[in-house]
Amino acid sequence: MFGKIRNLLIGQALKTEELKSEKFNVFWGLPILASDAISSVAYAGEEILYVLIPLLGILSYKYMLFAVGLIVLLLCILVFSYRQTIQNYPDGGGSYIVAKDNLGVAPGLIAAASLSIDYVLTVAVSTSAGTAAIASAVPELLNYKVIITIGLIIFMTIGNLRGLRESSHMFGIPAYIFMAVMFITIITGIVRYYVFGYRPTPVLSIPNVTGDITLFIFIKAFTSGCTALTGIEAVSNGIPNFKEPSQKNAEKVLLLLGVVILIIFGGVSFLTTLYKGVPNSNITVLSQVAAMVYGKGIMYYIVQAMTAIILVMAANTSFAGCPLLLALIAKDGYMPRQFTKRGKRLSFSNGIVLLSIAAIILILLFKGDTHLLVPLYAVGVFISFTLSQTGMFMKWIRSKKGAWRHKAFINGLGAVLAGITAIMQGVTKFKEGAWIVIILVPVLVFMMLSIKKHYNKVAGQLKLPLDEKPKQIDMAVQKNYMILPIDTLNKSFLKALNYARCISDNIIVFHVSVDDGATEKLKKRWDEYNLNIPLVIKKSPYRSLVGPLVKFIESEEFVTTPRDTITVVIPQFVVKKWWLNFLHNQTALFVKSVLLKRRNIAVTTIPYIIEE
Amino acid sequence: MFGKIRNLLIGQALKTEELKSEKFNVFWGLPILASDAISSVAYAGEEILYVLIPLLGILSYKYMLFAVGLIVLLLCILVFSYRQTIQNYPDGGGSYIVAKDNLGVAPGLIAAASLSIDYVLTVAVSTSAGTAAIASAVPELLNYKVIITIGLIIFMTIGNLRGLRESSHMFGIPAYIFMAVMFITIITGIVRYYVFGYRPTPVLSIPNVTGDITLFIFIKAFTSGCTALTGIEAVSNGIPNFKEPSQKNAEKVLLLLGVVILIIFGGVSFLTTLYKGVPNSNITVLSQVAAMVYGKGIMYYIVQAMTAIILVMAANTSFAGCPLLLALIAKDGYMPRQFTKRGKRLSFSNGIVLLSIAAIILILLFKGDTHLLVPLYAVGVFISFTLSQTGMFMKWIRSKKGAWRHKAFINGLGAVLAGITAIMQGVTKFKEGAWIVIILVPVLVFMMLSIKKHYNKVAGQLKLPLDEKPKQIDMAVQKNYMILPIDTLNKSFLKALNYARCISDNIIVFHVSVDDGATEKLKKRWDEYNLNIPLVIKKSPYRSLVGPLVKFIESEEFVTTPRDTITVVIPQFVVKKWWLNFLHNQTALFVKSVLLKRRNIAVTTIPYIIEE
């Protein structure tokens, strides 16, 4: 039944050979890799105001512009330093790889942990922001935000398990529409304001407070806005997906991306200061600005719809990136090996499911509130920025080739600025949730190191020296003991017994007595059956079934040599419907798991199929 | 690790012989069996007002007295009719047994289903009412009601898994104290009101509405109050626990219980009409009345504390009763057999855990609100009352011995009144939640019948005709094929291979190729190893490991006769810590579950222990 539902949802299996991915040029590459970055305009500006407005009131818009200016500056520097990563990692230069290559395993794992957290948060933040955009336009949905958000995540999970390719047209067209819509909104807003002197009634009134700015508040506002920069590392991960010359094309896309963010984020933020949107849990700031610029007409609803779509697309980039990262880490042995396996549809199913579950848990814990999630968000991104830029810096320092001083300076500057931003985020947002990330990163790194250690240990123990030959078997001397637990003498037991008799002459039928009456009945039937096989009976005062069996095998009553093999043969009912398992076999399963812990007991399961 | 935690929480295992239960006399029997019934005064009166007050305002208190009068009348009739059950079922006459004996399997199962639902609701309602009593006295806890309620349930679950006996003193003393406190409160309240003309300011004001009573509203109020009668069937279940003459003693306790409910429920309700408590989600009516009678002094807090304690004790009676009922049903084959097994501490652990999980789910769904749970509550009880009394009525009709007409009349009256009440509850509370019970009962009955049908089918298929002898084994002719899947040539594979070579000469080493490079490497090593055992290699385009294996076994390439046995030998890593299993064996587990579905493939698991 599960299989049928899965086929319906996920589709038929695909062959390994069908694995290939579409290569894109600059025109289609930009929108695909940009959705994460450009979608953040939907909440980054709002997050700045969310910090400022309750303290500064009307004064906030002035400082918002300063903060946005700083963020744009940081953006430019990061674009230049990532350009150098692209030039040097033709196969894709994710933070994990760059940090591991140049700084060592531990920094690589810190980058990996930060990035993983970041991927989960991208899904959580983008989908909740998408839901907020929808609910701003359709207030009837406000009470169902958490359910809608989780629904979006599940929808994406299924889509990605089916093996949703980042098809350039499917992703590119909405992204270009979104950019166009934002551009039109910015122009319309500025023209109406300055040329026609248009001053709409504000959707919400600005709280009447007159606090003054402090450095701490300003830094907090700045770091909140830094969420606008998440996603710019996507280009350097995606190099192999570009058409030749792939590095050149990736560089062009990165530059264009910088320009697009600059225009849209800068423009929308400027518009916000003109029209004075106010953060509120029911209507997003972008929605307020659009409503004021256009009135509640068709254009307003287009803005909301395109915002929701680009945010869901942004979340979807994590579904492409995170499982790939996990597979990379798992291949190195730092995550369970299951993450390297491709599912029926060639997607890394385990990674997709893990990402989805983690994001849903976050949504439930934070009730789908973007404001509560954002403080956790950017720390991880900036930690990985810092490590990857530091890695590049060390690369130049070591190579000392060509214009290495110049290049080291650019990456060094990127590293220092990203590092300072990460620290500022950790400090100003500590109480609001950054502490979770600061605790989680070392915990994850420790976990990954432990996994590697365990795999290494197992590999060491399993390694077969070339000169170790299989043991000499002398069938005449060694004995194969077959122990058959019996409860009642029925057909399934008989099937197990027939199997055992085919294989060996040394058969012991073992009965654990919990109820004297039942034991007497069995004894009588066994004698009638007259098989010349001994029936060993042990009492079990504590009602345990496996305890007496293990005790018997280890007792002196049961004499074996190291040459001999001991096999416990257990019949198992096989039922047609999965839920019928709840009515059977519980004991067999438990007995098996305990027996296998003994060094030299093999357990053979004999299926007995129950017909419908 | 799980084992250690379990031992800490649950305690060391107990021997079967230690199973014995304390017998009690009338004095201690009363409080033990009464806690469920007398605890309902804490909410039954409030439920009546909850229906009336919003519609009738001040007029409600008049009709409350009428409703209480009717409930007390119904109580008297039920006491008399249950007396006759006690006289005829010396081993305990629960509704399931009485209905099954006299009406047949289906009515017996309907009673069983209703009772099971009722047990779950007793836990949910009593613990939430207990929490409400605590939170009325300590308003700081109001926000944590759900957590406190779930905490109480978990506490009781652990206690009962440890094998908490219904020790007479532990339960009797608080119950007597509660009765005494209630009695004192009633007397104090009446004396202060009538003798001293004491009129305290009401805790809450009565809403100013002047609707008039309708028959529907009155019936709804009456049925809400009927929750006061839940628990009176406990005495007839508990007969075997009384000292000799057990039936006489049980009869006495039942009569006394009737008197106690009459005085306390009648008295507290009367007090409520004098002091005019108003239902409210933060302060219970009983708490308001106590606050008005005593002022917020020590006596007030004693009332609240004793109410909470008696309610938790009432919930605990379900933890004793429900697993026993499930064991009884499971013994008859209508529930999974696991429910008949006693755990380490001799309690029916599976039943306890199921009850606990079901109650916690209810608490979460209904947010621990007593008012929302009560509409579901009494329907089940009254369905089982009706069936048990109808069963007794049929017994007399069939026996036609002694004063059978007289006896049939009493039980018949009980059946008719309980039936009418059940129907009135179903109708008036349908929308508020009774529909859930009305749907759930047939679903549960259907489920129980399906389970029985399945068990019967299995028993039929397993039954061994006495003349069917084990098959003739001719070791010379038949072959034992051992198939060993191989991924890489390592020590765990070698252990499995050595085992297989001990047992048989017909060994096939089988490799599923997903990655050409890895397969080439394996081939080379296998040839170097030079074992003269064929290595069968099959490609798997869909990356499935078990598919090619099954296909091979069923193909013509692999020739067997029905005489032969086929065994797939799989090494399984055994790790010291349970969570390390996530890093291993996933494939082996899956392969096993698929192979066992084939009629004649045995699967042998060879443990390979990974050292720490």
Q: What is the pLDDT of residues A570-580, one digit of tens each?
A: 988 888 887 78
Interatomic CA distance for residues A189 and A77, integer angstroms: 29
Give me the mean pLDDT over the B83-95 stretch: 85
SS3 at position A13: coil
Range in A12-26, A242-256, A505-519, B36-50 with the lowest mean pLDDT: A12-26
Interatomic CA distance for residues B505 and A78, integer angstroms: 67
Closest-CA distance, B470 to chain A, in angstroms, reads 7
Question: What is the model's pLDDT at position A165?
Answer: 61
Instruction: State whether residue B514 sits within 8 Å of chain A by CB.
Output: yes
- In this structure, what are the phi and psi dihedrals at residue A483, rounded to the nearest 5 degrees? -105, 125
> Are A503 and B498 in contact (CB < 8 Å)?
no
Question: What is the model's pLDDT at position B21?
Answer: 64
A591: which DSSP letter?
Answer: H
Range in A603-612, B502-511, B562-571, B588-597 with the lowest mean pLDDT: B588-597
Interatomic CA distance for residues A595 and B576, integer angstroms: 14
Instruction: State whether residue A337 sits within 8 Å of chain B by CB.
Output: yes
Give me the mean pLDDT over the B447-468 stretch: 88
- pLDDT tens per residue, range B210-242: 788 889 999 999 999 998 888 888 888 778 778
- pLDDT tens per residue, range A269-299: 999 999 998 998 888 999 999 999 998 889 9
- pLDDT tens per residue, range A550-576: 889 888 888 778 788 899 999 888 888
Closest-CA distance, A100 to chain B, in angstroms, reads 23
> Are B470 and A598 in contact (CB < 8 Å)?
no
Give me the mean pLDDT over the B181-188 stretch: 94
Round the average pLDDT of chain A to a whole number and report it.
87
Give me the mean pLDDT over the B597-608 stretch: 88
Q: Which of B13, B490, B584 sits opposite A542 (nearest CB)?
A: B13
The alpha carbon dihedral of A279, A283, A286, A287 has a sign of negative
Interatomic CA distance for residues A264 and A270, integer angstroms: 10
- pLDDT tens per residue, range A325-341: 899 899 999 999 888 88
Burial class (CB within 10 angstroms; exposed 0-12, middle 13-18, buried 19+) of B464 = middle
For chain B, state the CA radius of gyration.
32
B3, pLDDT greater than 70: no
Percentage of the residues of chain B whose pLDDT score is greater than 70? 96
Element (H, E) at A306: helix A298-331
Give me the mean pLDDT over the A464-479 stretch: 75
β partners of residue A481: A506, A566
> Are B582 and A528 in contact (CB < 8 Å)?
no
Closest-CA distance, A259 to chain B, in angstroms, reads 44
B93, pLDDT greater than 80: no
Please count the other Cβ atoms lying within 10 Å of the Cβ belonging to residue B151. Answer: 13
Q: Which of B338, B466, B503 sits opposite A586 (nearest CB)?
A: B338
Q: Which residue has the tokens 């929490």?
A: B131
- How far lies B7's CA from each of A343, A433, B345, B482, in Å? 40, 37, 10, 41
User: Helix %, strand %, coil % for chain A, to 5?
Assistant: 70, 5, 25
Question: What is the model's pLDDT at position B192?
Answer: 93
Residues 6+ apart with CB under 8 A from A352: A157, A160, A161, A319, A322, A323
A312, pLDDT greater than 60: yes
> Are A565 and B541 in contact (CB < 8 Å)?
no
B585, pLDDT greater than 70: no
Range in A50-59, B29-38, B94-103, B381-390 with the lowest mean pLDDT: B29-38
Buried b (16+ CB within 10 A) or exposed e, B468-489: eeeeeeeeeebbbbbbbbbeeb
Q: Which bin fits B585, alpha (ψ -120 to 50), beta or left (φ > 0)?
A: left
Range in A24-38, A514-528, A585-599 with the lowest mean pLDDT: A585-599
Interatomic CA distance for residues B311 and B137, integer angstroms: 15
Identify all chain B residues contacting A10, using CB atoms and an 8 Å cutoff: none
Interatomic CA distance for residues B538 and B512, integer angstroms: 5
B6, pLDDT greater than 80: no
Closest-CA distance, B391 to chain A, in angstroms, reads 31
Question: What is the model's pLDDT at position A6?
Answer: 67
Give me the mean pLDDT over the B279-298 stretch: 89
Question: What is the model's pLDDT at position A41?
Answer: 82
Residue of A nearest to B453 (CA): A612
SS3 at position B336: coil
> Are A451 and B583 in contact (CB < 8 Å)?
yes
Question: What is the model's pLDDT at position B241?
Answer: 78
Question: What is the model's pLDDT at position B244?
Answer: 82
Q: In A, residues 347-386, which contact B (CB 8 Å cutoff)?
A: none
Task: State the virtual CA torsion across A238, A244, A248, A250 in degrees, nearest 10.
Answer: -20
Instruction: State whether residue A519 sits within 8 Å of chain B by CB.
Output: no
Closest-CA distance, A559 to chain B, in angstroms, reads 18
- Which tokens in the block code for residue A212? 């003054």
Round the average pLDDT of chain B to a whole number and report it.
87
Question: What is the model's pLDDT at position B105?
Answer: 93
Identify all chain B residues contacting A163, using CB atoms and an 8 Å cutoff: none
Task: Name the pLDDT band for A130 (thresholds 50, 70, 90).
Answer: very high
Report the helix count and the strand count for chain A, using DSSP H and E.
21, 5
Interatomic CA distance for residues B612 and B472, integer angstroms: 47
> Are A602 and B603 in contact (CB < 8 Å)?
no
Residue of B nearest to A612 (CA): B457
> Are B597 and A574 in contact (CB < 8 Å)?
yes
Closest-CA distance, B146 to chain A, in angstroms, reads 17
Range in A50-64, B1-15, B578-592 with the lowest mean pLDDT: B1-15
Range in A387-391, A395-399, A552-556, B472-476 with the lowest mean pLDDT: B472-476
> Are A604 and B609 in contact (CB < 8 Å)?
no
More confident residue, B110 or A367: B110
Identify all chain B residues contacting A337, using CB atoms and an 8 Å cutoff: 583
DSSP track, A154-193: HHHHHHHHTT----HHHHHHHHHHHHHHHHHHHHHHHHHH
- pLDDT tens per residue, range A152-189: 999 888 888 877 665 667 778 888 999 999 999 999 99
Identify all chain B residues contacting A454, using CB atoms and an 8 Å cutoff: 580, 583
Q: In A, residues 115-174, which contact B (CB 8 Å cutoff)?
A: none
- In this structure, what are the phi and psi dihedrals at residue A114, rounded to the nearest 5 degrees? -60, -45
Q: Where are the alpha helices (DSSP H) in A463-601?
A: 491-503, 516-529, 546-554, 586-595
B445, pLDDT greater than 90: yes
Question: What is the model's pLDDT at position A235?
Answer: 83
Range in A52-56, B441-445, B471-475 with the lowest mean pLDDT: B471-475
Identify all chain A residues contacting B501, using CB atoms and an 8 Å cutoff: 470, 473
Task: Name the pLDDT band for A205 (thresholds 50, 70, 90).
Answer: confident
Instruction: State whether residue B596 sits within 8 Å of chain A by CB.
Output: yes
Percentage of the residues of chain A whose pLDDT score is greater than 90? 41
Task: Name the pLDDT band for A357 (thresholds 50, 70, 90).
Answer: very high
Task: State the virtual CA torsion across B291, B295, B300, B301 in degrees, nearest 10.
Answer: 110
* CB A97, CB A89: distance < 8 Å: yes
> Are A344 and B542 in contact (CB < 8 Å)?
yes
Q: Which of A344, A489, A541 sits opposite B464 (nearest CB)?
A: A489
- In this structure, what are the phi and psi dihedrals at residue A384, rounded to the nearest 5 degrees? -75, -35
Question: What is the model's pLDDT at position B573?
Answer: 86
Q: In B, residues 3-22, which contact A (CB 8 Å cutoff)?
A: 13-17
Please count the other Cβ atoms lying within 10 Å of the Cβ belonging to residue A158. Answer: 15
Identify all chain B residues contacting A334, using CB atoms and an 8 Å cutoff: none
Question: What is the model's pLDDT at position B218?
Answer: 92
> Are A596 and B586 in contact (CB < 8 Å)?
no
Please count the other Cβ atoms lying within 10 Å of the Cβ belonging to residue B15. Answer: 11
Instruction: State whether residue B23 sits within 8 Å of chain A by CB.
Output: no
Residues 6+ apart with CB under 8 A from B121: B362, B373, B376, B377, B380
Q: In A, residues 452-511, which contact B (CB 8 Å cutoff)?
A: 454-455, 457-458, 461-464, 466, 468, 470-471, 473, 475, 478, 480, 489-492, 494, 497-499, 501-504
Identify all chain A residues contacting B468, using CB atoms and an 8 Å cutoff: 494
- pLDDT tens per residue, range B328-361: 899 999 999 888 888 777 778 889 999 999 999 9
Interatomic CA distance for residues B92 and B247, integer angstroms: 9
Percentage of the residues of chain A whose pLDDT score is greater than 70? 96
B166, pLDDT greater than 60: no
B28, pLDDT greater than 60: yes
Instruction: State whether residue B338 sits within 8 Å of chain A by CB.
Output: yes
The secondary structure of B156-220, three-state, reads: HHHHHHCCCCCCHHHHHHHHHHHHHHHHHHHHHHHHHHHCCCCCCCCCCCCCCCCCCCCHHHHHH
Closest-CA distance, A363 to chain B, in angstroms, reads 18
Query: What ipTM, to 2 d.p.?
Result: 0.80
| Chain A interface disruption, residue of B503, B592, B595, B597, most A CBs within 10 A | B503
Question: What is the model's pLDDT at position B239?
Answer: 82
